[in-house]
Structure 1
Amino acid sequence: MAFEDAVEFMRGASAVRNGLRVVPFAACREAARRGGISAREAEIAALRAGLCPSRYERSVGTVGLEGQARLLESCAAVAGCGGLGGWIIEILVRAGVGKLILADGDTFGENNLNRQLYAAEENLGEPKAEAAARRVKAVNSAVEVKALNFFLNEENCEAALDGADVVLDALDGNGARSVVFRACAKLGVPFVHGAIGGLYGETAVLRAGDVPPWELFGAGDKGEEVERGNPSFTPPFIASAQAAEAVSILTRGEETQRKTLFWFDISRLTVRRLNLK
Structure 2
Amino acid sequence: MDYSKRYLKNKKLISQKEQEVLKSKKVLVLGCGGLGGYIIEMLARLGVGNLKVVDFDVFDESNLNRQILSDEKNLGLLKVDEALKRVKTINSDIKTEGFNLKIDGENIEKLLTDIDLVVDALDSIPLKIMVEEKCSRLGITMVHGAIGGWVAQVAVIRPGNFILKKMYGGIEKGIEAELGNPSFTPAMAASIQVSESIKILLNKGESLENQVLYIDLQNNTFSTFEA
TM-score band, normalised by the shorter chain? Answer: over 0.9
8 Å Cα contact 1:263/1:271 also seen in 2: yes
CA 1:199/1:208 → structure 2, altered by over 3 Å: closer, same or farther?
Answer: same
CA 1:158/1:261 → structure 2, altered by over 3 Å: closer, same or farther?
Answer: same
Q: Distance in 2 between matches of 1:263 and 1:151?
A: 28
TM-score normalized with structure 2 length: 0.95
8 Å Cα contact 1:100/1:143 also seen in 2: yes
Q: Are residues 1:63 and 2:63 paired? A: no
Mapping of residues 226-241 of structure 1, within 5 Å: 226-241=177-192
Partner of 1:19: none
Q: SS at the partner of 1:53?
A: helix
Q: Are residues 1:74 and 2:25 paired? A: yes
Bigger proportion of residues as helix: 1
Cα distance, 1:178 vs structure 2: 1.3
Q: Alpha-carbon deviations, 1:110-158, whole Å to 9, x = none?
A: 1111111111111111111110001000101111000111122100001
Partner of 2:199: 248
Q: Are residues 1:158 and 2:77 paired? A: no
TM-score normalized with structure 1 length: 0.78
Q: Are residues 1:96 and 2:42 paired? A: no
Higher relative contact order (CA 8 A, sep 6+): 2
Cα distance, 1:254 vs structure 2: 6.4
Q: Distance in 1 between matches of 2:33 and 2:133?
A: 22
Mapping of residues 1-277 of structure 1, within 5 Å: 25=1, 28=2, 53-213=4-164, 215-218=166-169, 220-252=171-203, 255-276=206-227
Matched-pair identity in %: 39
Q: Which runs of 5+ in 2 are unaligned?
A: none
Segment drifting more, 247-256 vs 75-84? 247-256
8 Å Cα contact 2:56/2:102 also seen in 1: yes
Q: Which runs of 5+ in 1 are unaligned?
A: 1-24, 29-51
CA 1:130/1:167 → structure 2, altered by over 3 Å: closer, same or farther?
Answer: same
8 Å Cα contact 1:214/1:220 also seen in 2: no
Structure with bigger gyration radius: 1
Q: Distance in 2 between matches of 1:106 and 1:179?
A: 20
Q: Distance in 2 between matches of 1:196 and 1:156?
A: 25
